[in-house]
Structure 1
Amino acid sequence: MTIKAITGLASFAVGMALLSATASAQTRPEDTEVWKPVPAVVTPASAPGGAPSDAIILFDGRNLDQWVTAADKSPAGWTVADGVITVDKARGNIETKRAFRDYQLHLEWRIPADIAGSGQGRGNSGVFLASTGSRDQGYEVQILDSYQSATYVNGQAGAVYKQHPPLANANRKPGEWQTYDIIWRAPVFGSDGALTTPASVTVLHNGVLVQDNAVLAGETVYIGKPGYKAHGPSPIKLQAHGDPSIPISFRNIWVRELAPR
């Protein structure tokens, strides 16, 4: 047997001895049980899509009390009827009165059944996960009719607009309600305003994973490359897009604030 082989066998024997010693040091199941801290109790909703007990209700079908017009912070002017919000494009974007950092968001949206047009002109809207300005500033997950309708893939429904195409096209037909369930992790900035941790987002569209902890390169821009500018907790914004198609509708919107990782 060569010196090299003998050395290898000796190393293997030492490794096995260390493993055996570690195993013998943990001889009880209790050695690997964790009891504290105890997770908070959250009562789930009784129906799919319903709000759990710790959720903040952003729209319950009755009014827009939790929302303001993004441009001037006046009362939100979109239409509320039959438990549904309908976009009023003339009134512009709306955003939450409250600011949020990390959260779980649920919302439901519907493209009109008689939608016309093509590509980006089919019920275009979006949810901005952190609104950093009154106009289309922030980080946008696209809302659009992408059911058997072609457009650039990083601009179809479920995309992080102009950054990440969705992993799948999970669209229902126009006229049917669609759901987004979103986990948002806001960017973190240092005391000097420099980015220390980029934003990330996970999105389920109609229960289908379409963004899997996608890391963002910065805020959404229509032309050019995204980038970051320092900001703190921010409102959630819904877009009143200027395309000529029939306005879309929203319902059942709630959010759960999450502790930082």
Structure 2
Amino acid sequence: MYKPISFVKPILSLIGLSLFSFAHAQNQQAQVPEPMPMKPQMTEFWEPEVKVITPGAMPANQMMPPPSDAIVLFDGKDLSKWRSKKDGGEAKWKVENGVFTVAKGTGDISTKQKFEDYQLHIEWQIPSDIQGQSQARGNSGVFLQDPSEEVKQPSDYWYEVQVLDNYNNRTYANGQAGSLYKQKTPLVNAMRKPGEWNVYDIIYTAPRFKEDGSLFSPARVTVIHNGVLVQNNAEIRGHTAYIGIPFYKKHGKAPITLQDHGDPSKPISFRNIWLREL
């Protein structure tokens, strides 16, 4: 006698298997562990080591005078063009003998004026008796635009060219003098020895943003350190992140900031700072 084939049990079995597989996948997904939090070392690059060169000699106390169209940000007399980033009041760094020196613990200082694209000249000196090693050796930074108040993220820094003593002092390559901190290593190490003046000439193009806040074009920077090209129209990937990945957030013109790093080494000094808007 002919017996019809029953499809009910196979179909039920398939449905049960599918439901089991779906539940198992959901359970597996629910049990995926959280990713480990990022650490500073994850964005530090030690290799390859940056080649060391000797920059051309510069006569003692020689300074490049500002051109006629420059905005003089420090003329050797006072910090009237600067303010305390911490409280907005008077910049508290010490001015003496035509230079000013980081006053540790007083906080960063920022220009009162806001800028976009510019050419910046700034000279800085590591003390001749500097102590410490790696990052704890004359650490500071030039923040090319600092929109932290505008974007409401004061804990983050923005677009930093590192200032550090890297004369016979190795550190991670994307954190040494002339680097775009934690982003791009300098082409060479052009440091002068402690006690001599270092010079940065910086050409900076600010980022541009669309109306919806998304990035239209990234910031770019060229850095000449002691007459030697160390950053060649380099693209800046976003804000300066000590931990994590840089990102952009829409902003307009912004101040330039100099960093009070607060490390245990002796403080560094600055002089002859001027800027040409482009």
Task: Please confirm whether the aligned pair reaches a TM-score higher than 0.5, indicating the same fold.
Answer: yes
1:70-124 per-position Cα deviation (integer Å, ceiling 9, x unaligned): 1221010000000000001211000000000000000000000000110001100
Q: 1:48 Cα shift?
A: 5.5
1:46-65 per-position Cα deviation (integer Å, ceiling 9, x unaligned): x8621000000000000000
Alignment partners' CA distance in 2, 1:135 and 1:128: 13
The TM-score normalised by the length of structure 1 is 0.80
Tell me the SS of whatever aligns to 2:223: strand
Q: Is the 8 A contact 1:93 1:135 kept in 2?
A: no
- Are 2:77 and 1:62 aligned? yes
The code of the aligned residue for 1:235 comes to P
**Cα distance change of structure 1 residues 136 and 61 upon mapping to structure 2, 3 Å threshold:** farther
Match of 2:89 in 1: 74
Tell me the SS of whatever aligns to 1:154: helix
How many residues are matched? 212
Question: Which ranges in structure 2 are unaligned for 5 or more consecutive residues?
Answer: 1-61, 149-153
**Cα distance change of structure 1 residues 135 and 238 upon mapping to structure 2, 3 Å threshold:** farther
Q: Is the 8 A contact 1:198 1:216 kept in 2?
A: yes
The correspondence for 2:162, drawn from 121, 142, 154, is 142
Match of 2:128 in 1: 113
The correspondence for 2:238, drawn from 218, 221, 235, is 218
Runs of 4+ more than 6 Å apart: none
Please, which moves more after superposition, 161-170 or 134-143?
134-143
1:173-229 per-position Cα deviation (integer Å, ceiling 9, x unaligned): 011000000000000001111100000000000000000000011010101111100
Alignment partners' CA distance in 2, 1:109 and 1:229: 30
Match of 1:255 in 2: 275
**Cα distance change of structure 1 residues 240 and 146 upon mapping to structure 2, 3 Å threshold:** same
The code of the aligned residue for 1:237 comes to T
Q: Is the 8 A contact 1:71 1:135 kept in 2?
A: no
The TM-score normalised by the length of structure 2 is 0.75
The code of the aligned residue for 1:187 comes to P
> Max radius of gyration: which structure?
2
The code of the aligned residue for 1:208 comes to V
Alignment partners' CA distance in 2, 1:56 and 1:151: 34
Alignment partners' CA distance in 1, 2:166 and 2:259: 17
Q: 1:242 Cα shift?
A: 1.8
Q: How does 1:1-261 map to 2 (within 5 A)?
A: 49-133=64-148, 134-258=154-278
The code of the aligned residue for 1:113 comes to S
Match of 1:24 in 2: none
**Cα distance change of structure 1 residues 224 and 135 upon mapping to structure 2, 3 Å threshold:** closer
Alignment partners' CA distance in 1, 2:130 and 2:123: 18
Q: Is the 8 A contact 1:67 1:76 kept in 2?
A: yes
The code of the aligned residue for 2:189 comes to N
Alignment partners' CA distance in 1, 2:156 and 2:76: 25
State the Cα RMSD in Å. Answer: 1.0
